[in-house]
């Protein structure tokens, strides 16, 4: 990596603003956004209920008086009810897991797509990517925001993009070797899977041309970072985002690796106590809440990310003045991220409840085999099914596994257990056993 790449800032005008100038810009953008969303039925209702007139917002401090937006709001307004522009102005749609069978839908105007590419270009530049790089994208192309987000960001920089998409690890490795990628884009766990497979093939992952990794979409530790860096011989950087807010491009690390800079000229961050909803003082750990202040198609006000983190306002050596968020430290809800796919236990419950013979008692066991996450759904079935002949039981399991795959977009192994086998909780049912948390 050249020293030029180390210090490069994609948009110095916005990434290195003095805080008073940044806050002026934020307030102006917030006020404009509130005006734009006030005709969206959900916000019209929320503002009326809270007795809020967007014109009464005169300072950034007033933000804490505005109502929150949640995934539930998106579910209730499925699919396009939260959009603030007519469909003719929406040029792209993406989505993410919802808490039930219906996903969360987001839209982008042409300007939103343009802005999104710039936001991604910002964190890719911060990680040292330049127009000299060849960027291998191993996120799945589709409704998930990961692949398209990074794709257009890398093109914006002028890098060469290899839109490999997900899966087929052996082919990925061949392309990585032959096409000479210098930057790898995927989840951190997939980076390890690649390293494992290359080693199993008797080769050294460090002999690839890779120099930098841009990893995100799921939580990962500093230990995992060290392992990836060591085994692949690269600099591994973290980037964060969520589809409701834009996708990747909400925040990303610079090469100082001291937290991810949140692009505050686009997103207003707050940290709240997830129980009380109260805003916490700077530096405290709590749930990240984000407000879109630039987006046209679906600007969300005080969106509860459910991700737990801490914000740091002290200056960073890279020159960016933007606040940094720490690696996430868990969630304030029960969402699981399995192989990079977001899964809510309620999605699984919904499927099980629709299958005749399944009892309303189940448990999810999440584990890791080598570098790969696994999910087992243990479900109680009535005696007829449990004591049925093997062949019939097998086809019952197949049927449930297929239904689950359709709903959650992930293969889960189904294990049938006899009635009353799952321990009954006295308080809240313990639906999830996550053995990955070592
Ligand atoms: O995962 C967007 C994304 C794609 C970000 C690719 C970065 C790279 P969703 O599918 O909506 O969007 O999932 C969002 O994933 O609320 C976090 O819980 C988790 N998440 C995303 N990035 C990180 C990260 C994309 N770097 C949810 N560290 C978020 C920890 C992350 N968790």
Pocket test for ligand 1, best of 183, 241, 342 (most atoms within 8 A of CB): 241
Tell me the CA–centroid distance for residue 382 and ligand 1, in Å: 38
The answer to whether the CB of 300 falls within 8 A of the CB of 244 is yes
As a whole number, the mean pLDDT across the chain is: 94
Q: Band the pLDDT of 264: cuts 50, 70, 90.
A: very high
Select from 106, 141, 242 the residue to mutate for testing ligand 1; criterion: most ligand atoms less than 8 Å from CB.
242
Question: Which residues surround ligand 1 with Cβ inside 6 Å?
Answer: 96, 144-146, 216-219, 238-243, 247-248, 305, 307, 328, 337, 342
- Compute the distance from residue 292 Cα to the ligand 1 centre, in Å: 16
Q: What is the dihedral of CA 34, 96, 262, 44, to 10 degrees?
A: 10
Q: Which ranges of 164-287 would DSSP assign to H, the alpha helix?
A: 169-179, 188-200, 222-232
Instruction: Dump the DSSP string for 266-299.
Output: TEEEEEE-TTT-PBPPTT--EEEEEEESS-SS--
% of the chain with per-residue pLDDT over 90: 86
CA of 363 to the centre of ligand 1 (A): 25
Residue 331 binned pLDDT confidence (cut-offs 50, 70, 90): very high
138: closest CA among 76, 66, 208?
Answer: 208
Question: What is the model's pLDDT at position 353?
Answer: 87
Q: How confident is the model at residue 426 (pLDDT cuts 50, 70, 90)?
A: low
Q: What is the pLDDT of residue 140?
A: 94
Overall average pLDDT of the 264-282 stretch: 97
7 pLDDT band (50/70/90 cuts)? confident
CATH 3.30.300.30 segments of the chain: 336-437
Q: Which of 99-103, 249-253, 273-277, 319-323 has the lowest mean pLDDT?
A: 99-103
pLDDT score, position 15: 98
Cβ-based neighbours of 151, under 8 Å, separated by 6 or more: 137, 141, 161, 163
* Partners of 284 in beta bridges: none
Which CATH superfamily is 3-17+107-331 part of?
ANL, N-terminal domain (3.40.50.12780)
pLDDT tens by residue, 162-174: 999 999 999 999 9
- The answer to whether residue 260 scores a pLDDT higher than 90 is yes
Domain with CATH 3.40.50.12780 in the chain: 3-17+107-331
Q: Over 70: is that where the pLDDT of 438 sits?
A: no
pLDDT tens-digit map of 134-163: 999 999 999 999 999 999 999 999 999 999
pLDDT tens for residues 57-97?
Answer: 999 999 999 999 999 999 999 999 999 999 999 999 999 98
Q: Does 336-437 carry CATH code 3.30.300.30?
A: yes
């Amino acid at each position: 990596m050249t020293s030029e790449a180390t210090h490069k800032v994609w948009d110095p005008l916005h990434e290195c603003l003095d805080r008073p100038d940044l806050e002026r810009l934020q307030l102006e953008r917030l006020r404009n956004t509130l005006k734009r969303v006030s005709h969206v039925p959900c916000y019209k209702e929320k503002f009326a209920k809270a007795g809020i007139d967007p014109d009464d917002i005169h300072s950034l401090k007033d933000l804490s008086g505005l109502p929150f937006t949640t995934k539930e709001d998106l579910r209730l307004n499925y699919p396009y009810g939260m959009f603030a522009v007519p469909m003719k102005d929406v040029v792209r749609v993406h989505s993410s897991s919802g808490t039930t069978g219906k996903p969360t839908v987001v839209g982008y105007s042409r300007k939103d797509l343009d802005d999104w590419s710039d936001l991604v270009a910002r964190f890719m530049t911060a990680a040292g990517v330049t127009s000299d790089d060849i960027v291998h994208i191993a996120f799945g192309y589709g409704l998930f925001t990961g692949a398209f987000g990074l794709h257009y960001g890398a093109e914006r920089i002028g890098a060469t993009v290899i839109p490999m998409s997900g899966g087929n690890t052996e082919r990925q490795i061949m392309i990585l070797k032959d096409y000479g990628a210098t930057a790898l884009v995927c989840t951190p766990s997939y980076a390890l899977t690649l390293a494992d497979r290359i080693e199993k093939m008797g080769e050294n992952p460090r002999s690839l041309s890779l120099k930098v990794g841009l990893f995100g979409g799921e939580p990962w530790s500093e230990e995992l970072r060290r392992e990836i860096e060591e085994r692949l011989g690269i600099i591994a950087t973290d980037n964060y985002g969520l589809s409701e807010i834009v996708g990747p491009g909400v925040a990303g690390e610079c090469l100082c690796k001291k937290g991810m800079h949140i692009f505050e000229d686009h997103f207003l961050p707050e940290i709240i106590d997830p129980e009380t909803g109260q805003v916490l003082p700077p530096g405290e750990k709590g749930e990240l809440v984000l407000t879109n202040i630039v987006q046209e198609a679906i600007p969300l006000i005080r969106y509860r990310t459910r991700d737990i983190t801490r914000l740091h306002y002290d200056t960073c050596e890279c020159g960016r003045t933007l606040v940094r968020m720490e690696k996430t430290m868990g969630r304030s809800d029960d969402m699981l991220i399995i192989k990079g796919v977001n899964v809510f236990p309620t999605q699984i419950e919904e499927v099980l409840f629709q299958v005749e013979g399944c009892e309303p008692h189940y448990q999810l066991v999440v584990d890791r085999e080598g570098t790969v996450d696994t999910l087992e759904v243990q479900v109680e079935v009535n005696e007829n099914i449990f004591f049925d002949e093997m062949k019939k039981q097998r086809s019952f399991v197949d049927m449930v596994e297929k239904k689950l795959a359709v709903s959650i977009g992930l293969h889960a192994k189904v294990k049938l257990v006899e009635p009353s086998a799952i321990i009954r909780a006295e308080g809240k049912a313990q639906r999830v056993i996550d053995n990955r948390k070592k």
